[in-house]
Structure 1
């Protein structure tokens, strides 16, 4: 692991303009490493991405692709720090409720048109437009952009959104309340610019390779749904001279074991390590198997709507199920990739977040099991009245292993009968979003590095509060945290309420568990958000 870190971090790219001759010489301009003749990066996707439309995409796979095709105001470096994107700088007023971004004058769309502040205004208004029904419209509300909430609710026209182009290279954003981490949120794909005339010409088909116009380091050249996609260098990109990778290829491979086999056969440069196989891979391929903290959580969410299971309306039932989960077995035996056990919703890797003490975390597993039996019996469930429900997850071998383990724990310890059901990714997203489930798998990777990116999911009006948990005190605390100089105590109270009421069952927090070819340079393992950009990667000669 340490050897990998030293090697990969040695390849940090600088912002210095480099001539094409440096790359033509076959060596990296900073490290002096010999570069591969074929600068193609091939990696595996576990499923078809949701979209590459910045205002529509809602999954990690799609966001990775979209981040290459489009560029927002700000980017991140290999450590997760903000660096210029289309914006070269930003300023804010004393009250931090007006942000002004200065856009570079050499940013262009792939058709040669200049990228202007108006392109951001159009995109942000599009994101809150009820007619589009963006799955991430709520994110614009979280950004505290003036009038976003009212526009999304249909109570104000979109032209009243607090964003305007002062001129082609100056974007002004007005917030409804101060938000000190607002600039961090502009690395999210929902805030990327959109080409108005292309969208108006092609409608929903504007993101097809033959139609799309984008402003990122790469263009979309091929897409075979459920099979593969290709993105290639955008010659119009303002920093194209510093880009080394020529082509990025994704292959959709649902089965992790098949993906690993293809990786070992040399067909992939990167793939996830299947659950339980990291110890073996790290022994057999110590220079390729890597694990590092991720800003993501893995959980199960209860359907708490009126139409949800009657049993789940009792917090004692929910807590009993959470207590009976032996997280050590999940992390050490099932996953075995360095994932931390989770007793809180927000991960320890979150910036400025100290994991609060919750009662369950300090108990032994036998103590948890005993309390779980007492709570379930007290709620009226037992041998004469067994609890039964369905739990759903999206098709994936790792998710299946976790679901099977959970169902066996509940059966053996509590006599609970669980029916497992898996769904294809897009169907799963729709069914979960429509509350057509009893207990559903959930996972969240932070949209920015602050605890609210996780805890806001349990705010009553959140677009991704799929279980429809509603707690007025939680809403109040989260609202107060947005303007607080010290939100940590507020987040601690939210976590303790969640632990007591158990609207979700945190299982573990993610690790990035990959097989990575040694010829891949500059993978940002120190960026816990894993907002990676192909333009910063390169392939070494082997």
Structure 2
């Protein structure tokens, strides 16, 4: 059984108590005993007042508002089981919580669950929950909320409604029977009592806490709303109706402009010091100036301050910068297949129905494209060197990342041209662009979203690189992120190349949630049975209880990925998070700046 003692709340209370003591001390307790002149007495009195004022401002203060910025507006989905974007996560990170969290070493630590234990064969994980936790509307959090959350994700209507997180429930006992509608009972998550919940797995599970780490939603709010209707319900979208257990409540919004979070006074770890956190949607080009002027207090996820502005921001006297490797990557995706219109309409992901994209069907064509792209040039020119080439869709911070197993597509336009020549992609009509082996026009459509300025700037550069080796690119007008993701998910039949970035989960290196054949996030519609076999083997007990075994399997999978290329990984950008030095209590994790925000405070609170 895992147990951890909490000291943060006690420390906060002690610091707060210290402030109270300082405020109660007498300014003049020694004044009558001072034998000096009246002028000396007044000077001494002034000094004591200044010292006392300093004492008052030491340590956390209650009150104040901070303002953060993101350069693209949230799409508007604030239900943890349905959201898709990092911009929505910027809200949910403060409003909702999970049973377990992670520390700076990526080890699981208590969250809404205070302790846990597994049975001998790792088929059951029992968690004991914190008591007295209140939802934002005052209702009590219980094990029944946990059951409801996972039952909703396992629901037969979940995927059709737009849900994409089935990877958290597929290993659970009885998932197939419940999801297919054979039974109304879900055996996978059971409330033993109000404060004890058991996760039951169909087979021994190597990492049960990962599957228990999903964010919890309130049963009493959603119980009467069918899963199919949840995404459009006010409780998933409207400020004031979104209910979590986190330290801040989502109370106001001016859609696409401003989002306001207010302190949850009944927060189970103690009310936050800050009164409010205000999110503003700000163009990336003006963020730095607003940071200097104090109109913004922090810029963090998803991409922080622009690398081009690093030295400028570093010169500001009022700003602290956190730089560390990003827990994610940017990619150029290749559409291997497209879904049918019927499957899109039905919300179904049926690989047997997919239509192959003949323009990119040959893996050697995708490899030629990879050789034609100067990734190092993108890092030097756009990131000012603050990033690294990554050749596998596993975060470099994980033990499973294996550079030696992958193919490093170094910039080699001659190699790219030679591959295409050998395949019969040559310029037949003399217009400078290659036709396909049948002599037909060969044009690749390329799409990308707005919001991330560096990604926007990379699109025409990639177009130019590909056209330099004779590949004609139709670079289409960028779309706002929410519309872009909808089109990407629906698989418009003429998409070929797409730009996207992923912020990866930190719980486990398992990439199934993004690259498994039937995963909704598998936007390339990569249909490679060998890949799925390897990914599932890496999770299969008892062999997978040994990390060395998993390393070997993931190395083989990374080699397959870089050969078959559902996407070319462009780079992992360094995270450049910045915050005003009036803000205190920031203790970043490897994957986020938002750790324990209830302990954040400002030294000029009113």
**What range describes the TM-score normalised by the shorter chain of this pair?**
0.7 to 0.9
Which runs of structure 2 are paired with 1:2-151 in the superposition (5 Å)?
Answer: 14-16=8-10, 18-19=12-13, 21-22=17-18, 33-35=58-60, 38-50=63-75, 51-78=77-104, 80-132=106-158, 133-141=161-169, 144-151=171-178
Asked if 2 retains the 8 angstrom alpha-carbon contact of 1:383 and 1:415, the reply is no
CA distance in 2, matches of 1:145, 1:25: 53
CA drift of 1:102 comes to 0.3
CA drift of 1:439 comes to 1.1
CA drift of 1:468 comes to 0.8
In structure 2, stretches of 5+ residues that fail to align are 1-5, 24-56, 338-353, 429-433, 436-441
**Secondary structure at 1:281 match in 2:** helix
Match of 2:266 among 236, 240, 261: 236
**Secondary structure at 2:525 match in 1:** coil
In the alignment, structure 1 residue 296 sits paired with structure 2 residue 328: yes
Match of 2:518 among 450, 461, 466: 461
**Secondary structure at 1:178 match in 2:** coil
In the alignment, structure 1 residue 481 sits paired with structure 2 residue 525: no
In the alignment, structure 1 residue 444 sits paired with structure 2 residue 476: no
CA drift of 1:304 comes to 1.1
Which runs of structure 2 are paired with 1:112-511 in the superposition (5 Å)?
Answer: 112-132=138-158, 133-141=161-169, 144-152=171-179, 154-189=180-215, 192-197=216-221, 200=224, 204-207=233-236, 208-241=238-271, 243-253=272-282, 255-271=283-299, 272-282=304-314, 288-305=320-337, 307=355, 309-336=357-384, 338-350=386-398, 352-358=399-405, 360-361=407-408, 365=411, 368-384=412-428, 385-386=434-435, 387-396=442-451, 397-436=453-492, 437-452=495-510, 454=511, 456-483=513-540, 484=544, 485=546, 486-511=549-574
Asked if 2 retains the 8 angstrom alpha-carbon contact of 1:345 and 1:455, the reply is no
CA drift of 1:490 comes to 0.7
CA drift of 1:252 comes to 1.4
In structure 1, stretches of 5+ residues that fail to align are 1-11
Asked if 1 retains the 8 angstrom alpha-carbon contact of 2:113 and 2:129, the reply is yes
Asked if 2 retains the 8 angstrom alpha-carbon contact of 1:68 and 1:217, the reply is yes
Asked if 1 retains the 8 angstrom alpha-carbon contact of 2:375 and 2:570, the reply is yes
CA drift of 1:78 comes to 5.0
CA drift of 1:532 comes to 3.4
CA drift of 1:75 comes to 2.4
CA distance in 1, matches of 2:252, 2:82: 19
CA drift of 1:329 comes to 1.0
Larger Rg: 2
CA drift of 1:200 comes to 2.7
CA distance in 2, matches of 1:535, 1:256: 27
* Counterpart for residue 584 of structure 2: 521
CA drift of 1:18 comes to 4.1
CA drift of 1:512 comes to 1.1
CA drift of 1:76 comes to 3.0
**Secondary structure at 1:240 match in 2:** coil
* Counterpart for residue 9 of structure 1: none
**Secondary structure at 2:268 match in 1:** coil
* Counterpart for residue 5 of structure 1: none
- Worse-superposed segment, 476-485 or 62-71: 62-71
* Counterpart for residue 34 of structure 2: none
CA drift of 1:246 comes to 2.4
CA distance in 2, matches of 1:168, 1:151: 23
CA distance in 1, matches of 2:488, 2:177: 25
**Secondary structure at 1:357 match in 2:** helix
CA distance in 2, matches of 1:376, 1:210: 56
Q: Could you say if the C-alpha distance between residues 113 and 38 of structure 1 is closer, same or farther in structure 2, counting changes exceeding 3 Å?
A: closer
CA distance in 2, matches of 1:198, 1:21: 40
**Could you report, residue by residue, the CA deviation over 1:310-352 in whole angstroms, capped at 9, with x for unpaired residues?**
22111111111111111111112112262111222212112x2
